[in-house]
Amino acid sequence: MDFPVEELKKFALQCGFTHAGELDLKALVFMPEVREMCRAARCRAYGKNWRCPPACGSIEEAAARAAKYSFGMLVQTVGRTEDDFDYETMEKAGKEHAASFVKMMRELKKKYPDILGMGAGTCARCNPCTYPDAPCRFPEDSYSSMEAYGLWVSKVCELSGIPYYYGPNTITYTSCYLLK
Ligand code: SF4
């Protein structure tokens, strides 16, 4: 199946992302080390969210699932910060990225129902997450992050020929969609 790369890139920008490009599927290397970083990460969501490890599935399951796809898109939101402590802009860019991600996901699903989306950061749709006491409230409309799947995001970008770092005073959020 041929995928309309330029059309998809344009659509990503229309959805609110600042950058988009084709993901090289060979860059999808699922690493247990990233999972370990998840466990130690500052977000403290490990073991507390349906979309984070270990609830989101094993590295092997992630790799097997991704292997069924034949095309990928990387999408990014780059925020311009005043300095390293401009948390307001960082948070705003993160929220904008999450909103763009859901918007594009919902639209792409209409044409590619088996789409696999991997977002940036923990699913924060409910506060708190129902894990582990009750099922996810939005199983069809919530997503794991690329890191939760075990992907080293900067490496995926680099191997796909897409920048991950846009210079001093920038913050970049990166997500991806896999299509078949
Ligand atoms: S949608 Fe709500 S219940 Fe489901 S993973 Fe996200 S925060 Fe948890």
| Cβ neighbour number for residue 96 with a 10 Å cutoff | 16
Binned at pLDDT 50, 70 and 90, residue 86 comes out as very high
pTM: 0.94
Domains in the chain, number: 1
pLDDT range class, residue 42, cuts 50, 70, 90: low
What phi and psi values does residue 11 have, to the nearest 5 degrees? Answer: -65, -35
Tokens matching residue 178 = 């896999």
Count of CB atoms situated within 10 Å of the CB of 76: 24
Q: Whose CA is nearest to atom 3 of ligand 1?
A: 136
Q: Are strands 71-80 and 116-118 parallel, antiparallel or unpaired?
A: unpaired
At 35 the pLDDT is 86
130 close to ligand 1 (CB < 6 Angstrom): yes
Give the whole-angstrom CA distance, residue 111 versus residue 137.
Answer: 24
Share of the chain above pLDDT 90, in %: 89
The whole-number pLDDT of residue 30 equals: 96
177 closest CA partner among 74, 99, 100, 98: 74
Burial class (CB within 10 angstroms; exposed 0-12, middle 13-18, buried 19+) of 83: exposed
Residue type, 17: F
Distance from residue 150's CA to the centre of ligand 1 (Å): 19
Q: What is the mean pLDDT of the chain?
A: 95
Q: What's residue 128's pLDDT? A: 94
**Does 137 contact ligand 1 (Cβ within 6 A)?**
yes
Q: Strands 19-23 and 116-118: what pairing?
A: unpaired
Rounded to 5°, the CA angle 122-125-129 comes to 75
Domain that holds residue 59: 5-179
Please choose from 52, 136, 145 the residue to mutate so as to test ligand 1's pocket, defined by most ligand atoms within 8 A of CB.
136
Tell which residue, 58, 64, 71, 59, has the closest CA to residue 24.
71
Rounded to whole angstroms, the Cα distance separating 61 from 56 reads 9
12-34 confidence digits (pLDDT tens): 999 999 999 999 999 999 999 99
Looking at the chain, the whole-number percentage of residues with pLDDT higher than 70 is 99
The SS3 of residue 137 is coil
